[in-house]
């Protein structure tokens, strides 16, 4: 049976990987045992996806990204060039902590910018936006915008990736999609009509 994904000849795909239909895997990328990639993922060059990592559908992994054991990503996540996840809070070369991997979950539609670092054990909410070079050291709420080192919340984002500006009544509109949002008790909710 012909495979239903593309893998560049220089890529390495270990036994036990589950790869969805329409996935593209580019140069010098290594998929390790037990990882799962949903349909239509695009995995750039020089990427490492460690054992038991799960990526949802349509996840875009740009060049030079390391995704370590303990990470899961929902559908439509964007992982920018050279961003990295960690999986041990206190690594030491001489101390084996493979049983202490902390989990990190990235929610649907979230974006993590180039060269950002996500310190393990902190979840990224759906449609959150992490700016380039940010170092995330705490949980990130859905639709929130974070930047800096350590990363701090700078505002809110729409599902289309535009900054939301709320009026005095706590309402905002995405300039591209025209979808409407409400800020209530420190959380953003999309208004469904």
Residues 171 and 136 in one domain: no
- Count the helices and strands in the chain (H runs, E runs): 0, 24
Mean pLDDT of 28-39: 98
SS3 98: helix
Q: Sign of dihedral through CA atoms 149, 150, 153, 157?
A: positive
Residues 74 and 102 in one domain: yes
Task: Band the pLDDT of 99: cuts 50, 70, 90.
Answer: confident
Mean pLDDT of 147-167: 98
Q: What is the pLDDT of residue 85?
A: 97
Task: Band the pLDDT of 30: cuts 50, 70, 90.
Answer: very high
Residues 92 and 117 in one domain: yes
Greater model confidence, 158 or 2 = 158
Residues 33 and 101 in one domain: yes
Q: What is the pLDDT of residue 79?
A: 98
Mean pLDDT of 112-141: 98
Residues 123 and 176 in one domain: no
Q: In total, how many domains does the chain have?
A: 2
Task: Band the pLDDT of 58: cuts 50, 70, 90.
Answer: very high
Residues 111 and 172 in one domain: no
φ, ψ (nearest 5 deg) of residue 182 = -130, 135
Question: Is 5's pLDDT higher than 80?
Answer: yes
Question: Is 105's pLDDT higher than 90?
Answer: yes
Task: Band the pLDDT of 175: cuts 50, 70, 90.
Answer: very high
Task: Band the pLDDT of 2: cuts 50, 70, 90.
Answer: low
| Mean pLDDT score across all residues of the chain | 96
Residues 149 and 184 in one domain: no
Q: What is the pLDDT of residue 3?
A: 80
Domain region containing 69: 1-157
């Amino acid at each position: 049976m012909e495979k239903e994904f593309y893998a560049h000849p220089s890529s390495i795909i270990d036994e036990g990987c589950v790869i969805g239909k329409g996935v593209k895997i580019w140069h010098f990328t290594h998929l390790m045992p037990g990882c799962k990639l949903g349909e239509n993922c695009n995995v750039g060059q020089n990427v490492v996806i460690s054992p038991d990592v799960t990526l949802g559908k349509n996840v875009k992994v740009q060049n030079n990204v390391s995704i370590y054991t303990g990470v899961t990503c929902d559908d439509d996540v964007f992982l920018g060039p050279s961003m990295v996840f960690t999986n041990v809070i206190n690594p030491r070369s001489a101390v084996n902590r493979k049983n202490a991997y902390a989990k990190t979950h990235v929610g649907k539609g979230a974006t993590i910018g180039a060269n950002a670092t996500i310190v393990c054990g902190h979840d990224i909410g759906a449609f959150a936006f992490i700016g380039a070079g940010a170092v995330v050291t705490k949980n990130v709420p859905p639709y929130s915008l974070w930047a800096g080192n350590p990363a701090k919340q700078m505002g809110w984002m729409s599902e289309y990736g535009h900054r939301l500006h709320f009026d005095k009544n706590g309402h905002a509109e995405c300039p591209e999609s025209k979808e409407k949002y409400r800020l209530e008790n420190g959380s953003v909710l999309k208004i469904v009509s």
